[in-house]
Structure 1
Amino acid sequence: MRPDRGLAPGGARPERVTVMQGQALVSNDPNVEFSTVLGSCVALCLFDPEARLGGMNHFLLAEPPANSSVSTVDEYYGTYLMELLVNQMLAKGARKAHLRAHLYGGANVNRNMMRIGSANAEFARDFVAREGIELLRSDLGGGNARRVDFRPASGQVRCRTVEDRFAPPVQPTTRPAKATGDVELF
């Protein structure tokens, strides 16, 4: 094993920041590593190699149900979090033409439930293709949970399967504070 494995530039251990369900985070700090655990949820890791800037989101469900009467934006849906991540990247200096994507998650970990993971994976693939973002790598589907570690300033990603018991629940028990800021849909 190489002695520098797991070290950030300059030899320091990276600061690990957990990306929770309903979050989208962006950084250009070479000492930051985003980390999340996914079951049926999906995470998009975006990177602009020119700006040396990256971000990760973690969404629970692709879209609200068609019969939903919810009039407010729900930060747990991919329809919101995908746009939010792209907009945060652009606001910090990324250029859409330079964006590169990695997609992870979308497992169907509970065989007795609807295929939520498959729907999430399909939504994420469609979003990246529709937006014209180059997809460098994806590890979607299957039946196993995954742990994803992403260094946003360099675009390095590591994805490992984990025991299903470590996968987050499909329905959150607590919600983070409501997201603030504007989202521009394009």
Structure 2
Amino acid sequence: MSIHTPISNAPATERVTVMQGQAIASANLAAEFSTVLGSCVATCLYDPDAHIGGMNHFLLSEPPANASGTQIDEHYGVYLMELLVNEMLAKGARKFNLKAHLYGGANVNRNMMKIGSMNADFAREFLRREGILLMREDLGGTQARRVDFRPASGQVRCRTVEDRFAPPVQPTPRPAVAHGDVELF
């Protein structure tokens, strides 16, 4: 008696971690983008006809109003949203056909500004302004999330990360009295 193991024609999964400040697009059937989010937001865009998708991961929505200079900071959503759309269009996606999923935007530290909420509001408004259909969102709350996205098929899996597995957010204490030639204030 022999045992027959069927051979799968599906390509092996190629996992790509999307870090803060990145926007990546692909039509590769084997690609799977992954990221872990706290207050950051990840946008997963997908063109179902062209089978092209992409993901970004931004830390903050926009630079402060008093920021000066023309240097582009890739950690801002205002830059990464445009970059993601443009990368997808360059690969053959059509803007009118894009579908979106938004993840993250948690307010993980109650003692800090509501950065996660500001990021989530920015991402929703960007999609609305650009006419991109928001299919699903998992935003807000206080827990971190892990997102896995298959860009060519548009499949997404989002899981919350238990608090005990998330790194603690603790401010670094300052010394009460400075020593030496430098005074900390």
Q: 1:166 to 1:67 in 2, by over 3 A?
A: farther
The residue type paired with residue 16 of structure 1 is R
Paired residues of 2:100 and 2:134 also in contact (CA < 8 A): yes
Paired residues of 2:11 and 2:29 also in contact (CA < 8 A): no
Cα shift at 1:153: 0.2
Q: How does 1:81-96 map to 2 (within 5 A)?
A: 81-96=80-95
Match of 2:151 in 1: 152
Q: Deviations over 1:59-90 (max 9, x none)?
A: 00000011111320100000000000000000
Normalising by the residue count of structure 2, what TM-score does the alignment of the two structures yield? Answer: 0.83
Match of 2:30 in 1: 31
Cα shift at 1:164: 4.1
Please tell me the root mean square deviation across aligned C-alpha atoms, in Å. Answer: 1.7
Match of 1:137 in 2: 136
Q: Which runs of 5+ in 1 are unaligned?
A: 1-8, 171-186
Q: Distance in 2 between matches of 1:75 and 1:29?
A: 24
Q: How does 1:19-168 map to 2 (within 5 A)?
A: 19-164=18-163
DSSP-derived class of the 1:37 partner: strand
The residue type paired with residue 154 of structure 1 is S
Q: Which runs of 5+ in 2 are unaligned?
A: 1-7, 170-185
Q: 1:67 to 1:164 in 2, by over 3 A?
A: farther
Paired residues of 2:105 and 2:116 also in contact (CA < 8 A): yes
DSSP-derived class of the 2:56 partner: strand
Q: 1:89 to 1:165 in 2, by over 3 A?
A: farther
Q: Deviations over 1:148-172 (max 9, x none)?
A: 00000000000000034655799xx
Cα shift at 1:109: 0.3
The residue type paired with residue 134 of structure 1 is L
Q: 1:109 to 1:87 in 2, by over 3 A?
A: same
The residue type paired with residue 30 of structure 2 is N
Q: 1:60 to 1:168 in 2, by over 3 A?
A: farther
Q: 1:130 to 1:165 in 2, by over 3 A?
A: farther
Q: Distance in 1 between matches of 2:167 and 2:93?
A: 31
Paired residues of 2:56 and 2:80 also in contact (CA < 8 A): yes
Q: How does 1:3-18 map to 2 (within 5 A)?
A: 10-18=9-17
Count of residue pairs the alignment pairs up:
162
Report the identity percentage.
75
Q: Distance in 1 between matches of 2:68 and 2:9?
A: 51
Normalising by the residue count of structure 1, what TM-score does the alignment of the two structures yield? Answer: 0.83
